[in-house]
Amino acid sequence: MVGRGAMSNSIAELKESPFILATGTNTTETHPVIALKVKKAVSNGSKLVVIDPRRIELANFSHRYMQIKIGTDIALYNAMSNVIINEELYDKEYVAERTGGFEELKHFIREYTPQYAEQITGIPSEDIIATAREYAAADSASIIYTVGITEHSCGVHNVQSLTNLALLTGNFGVTGGGVNPLRGQNNVQGAGDAGCLPNNLPGYQRVGDDAARANWEKEWGVTLDPNPGVTKVTAIDDMILGRMRALYIMGENSLASDANAGKTRKALEALEILVVQDIFLTQTAELADVVLPAAGFGEVDGTFANSERRVQRVRKAVNPPGVAKPDWQIISELGERFGYKKKFNHPAEIWDELARNTPILAGISYDRLDFQGIQWPCPTSDHPGTAVLHTDNFESEKGYLMPIPHVGIAEPTDEEYPLILTTGRRRATYHTGTQTGRSAGIELLVPHEWVEINPEDADELKLDDGEVVSVISRRGRVQSPIMITEKSPPGVIFMSFHFPNETPTNVLTTDLHDPITETPEFKACAVKIEKIAQHHKNQSDKNGTQNTNQSLKMAG
């Protein structure tokens, strides 16, 4: 545990990193330009180890690919820690000076021998040992991961067990090192930076922190609630229970993107008022009582913060359609009608209010962002920004090594649901398709959903390549053509969530979630596949992909 929910290092640095451990990241598909840095490093002679349940394209560039059983990450990283500690490969000086909890970890980790981890993860113990040795021996080693690590019911523990490796080997605070979550959305970092979290005020200042709260109370002229609010996941439960009566969504197609879509629909339908502010009439907006037209990308000024904490200017290029307005303007006008009179004329004024009360952003202004972005923390106007975090110390003075026990996935397979469904994205399409689905030509690259399935499983189920099947979980069913591919390991199928009208994949996924972040286990739930009766199949062949609009409704 080191304290920042962001990449510790920078994107371009990856090119120079002598060792890259890529785990739970289908980088060539989800972050194609970051994948270029990894490929460049490999061309320059760097080592790359890829860990993923699916034989993803990045594995082709690796010197070792380790096919891990889904949801067994902790056992693997613990075994690597075991090797690093037992063989005394750790950075003794760094561990003594900058970390806490070493003795506890050393004691705890004894049972996680590479042989024990092999039984759990399916990765040969010699590969685990070799990777641990190489990782520890590298001058600097970078860990990159995406939601293959976090979208698990043990997501936080996955990250903590991974972080142990970087702490043991002194890989924080060095160029080409670190632990680097590659964030999936253009401004997911900025949304967090701005305080759109139930426990955090802007700049990750805790709502329970009296001093921080007092500061914002003074800025806003109000009294603030010292108790954290509820996450999206809890809010959905509260809606179904009738405790949550009103929801205002700005720019998210929650019905299609959230886990267990049937439950999401039930929750949204239970609301007394649902306001959706968006740029298209999404599946979620169709359920709203009030829909507000927002100005979108290319129509607004502002900033995005990327994965490496870099605040960058985005600019208005064209006027929004009809009477659509920027999100901030709509909400400000609504605020005025509630009697809150503070007025902003331009996003630069909003930025200034945010930055002057937020130490990590305090030195950043629109003037400074004109040519190039700046990486936070940037405390003063003459500070250049921070490419590498934790060079001197961690948020809590020390980085804590955490003894983390392995747990399995929340919904394992059984006789009735013998396959694991894992979900993700494909390169040319994005999330629920509201934008890429409206860009000409993309439909030729990814025309519809596919269930990626291993040849062994397809044989057993007597399925032909391209055949439309039903995929069924405890929560619902969808239909989709299959693609028979060795990319999926036996027992695991892969689907994206890019086609919510035809194949609303998230009616299948589970909302069982990590107890700390409440992030659902999108990466694993138990499903079965059923053949569709012959006359259905013919019909679907005629229509290309079968229209399964109804399944979304049925699932509710």
Partner 1 sequence: MLKEETLKVVINGQEVESSFGKTILECARDSGVDIPTLCFDSRVKATAACRLCSVNVKGRRLPVAACAQKMEPGMEITTDSSDLESMRKTILDLVVSENPTGECVRCEEIGPCELHTLTKRYGSKPGRFHGALSGEKSKDTNPFIFRDYSQCILCYRCTSVCGELEQAHAIVPAGRGFGSRIAAAFDSGLLDSSCTFCGQCIQTCPTGALMDRKMLGQAKASEVTKVKTVCPYCGTGCGLNLHVANNKVIGTTPDWDSPSGEGSLCVKGQFATDFVGHKDRLKTPLIRRNGVLTEATWDEAYDLIVEKFTQIKEESGPNAFTFWTSARATTESNYIMQKFARAVIGTNNVDNCSRT
* Given 519, 545, 546, 548, the residue binding partner 1 (CB under 8 A): 519
Q: Which of residues 30 and 131 has its CB atom nearest to partner 1 in the complex?
A: 30
Task: Read off φ and ψ for residue 399, nearest 5 degrees.
Answer: -90, 125
Q: Does 518 bind partner 1 (CB under 8 A)?
A: yes
Q: Rounded to the nearest whole angstrom, what is the least distance from the CB of residue 368 to partner 1 in the complex?
A: 14
Q: Does 30 bind partner 1 (CB under 8 A)?
A: yes
* Given 165, 168, 256, 294, the residue binding partner 1 (CB under 8 A): 294
Q: Give the pair of three-digit tokens for residue 334.
A: 């609504």
Give the pairing type, strands 205-206 and 99-100: unpaired
Q: Does 483 bind partner 1 (CB under 8 A)?
A: no
Q: Which of residues 116 and 248 has its CB atom nearest to partner 1 in the complex?
A: 248
Span near partner 1 by CB under 8 A; candidates 83-91, 131-139, 225-233, 393-401: 225-233
* Given 2, 34, 50, 136, the residue binding partner 1 (CB under 8 A): 34
* Given 52, 73, 118, 278, the residue binding partner 1 (CB under 8 A): 278
Q: Give the pair of three-digit tokens for residue 138.
A: 């590298």
Residues 6+ apart with CB under 8 A from 345: none
Chain centroid to Cα 370, Å, comes to 29
- # residues contacting partner 1 (CB under 8 A): 144
Integer CA distances (angstroms), 374 to 3, 36, 311, 315, in order: 20, 22, 5, 16
Q: Rounded to the nearest whole angstrom, what is the least distance from the CB of residue 274 to partner 1 in the complex?
A: 9
* Given 22, 166, 249, 508, the residue binding partner 1 (CB under 8 A): 249
* Given 86, 116, 133, 191, the residue binding partner 1 (CB under 8 A): 191
Q: Does 259 bind partner 1 (CB under 8 A)?
A: yes
Q: Rounded to the nearest whole angstrom, what is the least distance from the CB of residue 547 to partner 1 in the complex?
A: 19
Closest CA relative to residue 51, chosen from 137, 161, 139: 161
Closest CA relative to residue 522, chosen from 548, 556, 483, 494: 494
Instruction: Provide the β-strand partners of residue 422.
Output: 494
Q: Look-up: residue for tokens 């919510």?
A: 500
Q: Does 497 bind partner 1 (CB under 8 A)?
A: no
The residue length of the chain stands at 556
Q: Rounded to the nearest whole angstrom, what is the least distance from the CB of residue 307 to partner 1 in the complex?
A: 4
Q: Does 214 bind partner 1 (CB under 8 A)?
A: no
Q: Rounded to the nearest whole angstrom, what is the least distance from the CB of residue 213 to partner 1 in the complex?
A: 10
Q: Look-up: residue for tokens 């590298």?
A: 138
String of contacts with partner 1 for each residue 313-352, x by CB under 8 A: xxxxxxx-xxxxxxxx--xxxxx-xx-x---x--x--xx-
String of contacts with partner 1 for each residue 403-432, x by CB under 8 A: ------------------------xx-x--
String of contacts with partner 1 for each residue 63-92, x by CB under 8 A: ------------------------------
Q: Does 172 bind partner 1 (CB under 8 A)?
A: no
Q: Give the pair of three-digit tokens for residue 115.
A: 């042989």
Q: Does 273 bind partner 1 (CB under 8 A)?
A: yes
Q: Is 537 helix (H, G, I), strand (E, B) or coil?
A: helix
Q: Does 25 bind partner 1 (CB under 8 A)?
A: no
* Given 137, 214, 241, 445, the residue binding partner 1 (CB under 8 A): 445
Task: Read off φ and ψ for residue 440, nearest 5 degrees.
Answer: -60, 135
Q: Rounded to the nearest whole angstrom, what is the least distance from the CB of residue 369 to partner 1 in the complex?
A: 11
Give the pairing type, strands 477-484 and 468-473: antiparallel
Q: Which of residues 120 and 182 has its CB atom nearest to partner 1 in the complex?
A: 182
Closest CA relative to residue 331, chosen from 254, 277, 271, 274: 277
Q: Which of residues 75 and 409 has its CB atom nearest to partner 1 in the complex?
A: 409
Q: What is the DSSP letter of 401?
A: P
Q: Does 241 bind partner 1 (CB under 8 A)?
A: no
Alpha helices in 338-496 (DSSP H): 347-356, 442-445, 455-460
Rounded (10°) angle between helices 73-86 and 114-121: 170
Q: Does 169 bind partner 1 (CB under 8 A)?
A: no
* Given 231, 393, 413, 485, the residue binding partner 1 (CB under 8 A): 231
Indicate the residue type of 556.
G
Instruction: Provide the β-strand partners of residue 419.
Output: 527
Q: Look-up: residue for tokens 């569709």?
A: 532
Q: Which of residues 232 and 477 has its CB atom nearest to partner 1 in the complex?
A: 232
Q: Does 297 bind partner 1 (CB under 8 A)?
A: yes
Q: Which of residues 118 and 521 has its CB atom nearest to partner 1 in the complex?
A: 521
Closest CA relative to residue 120, chosen from 112, 132, 109: 112
Q: What angle do CA 330, 336, 337 make, to 5 degrees?
A: 95
Q: Does 31 bind partner 1 (CB under 8 A)?
A: yes
Q: Does 247 bind partner 1 (CB under 8 A)?
A: yes
Indicate the residue type of 43.
S
Q: Give the pair of three-digit tokens for residue 555.
A: 């699932």
Instruction: Return the half-sphere exposure (C-beta side, CA atoms, 13 A cut-off) of residue 203.
Output: 23
Distance CA 536, CA 551 (A): 15
String of contacts with partner 1 for each residue 370-409, x by CB under 8 A: -xxx------------------------------------
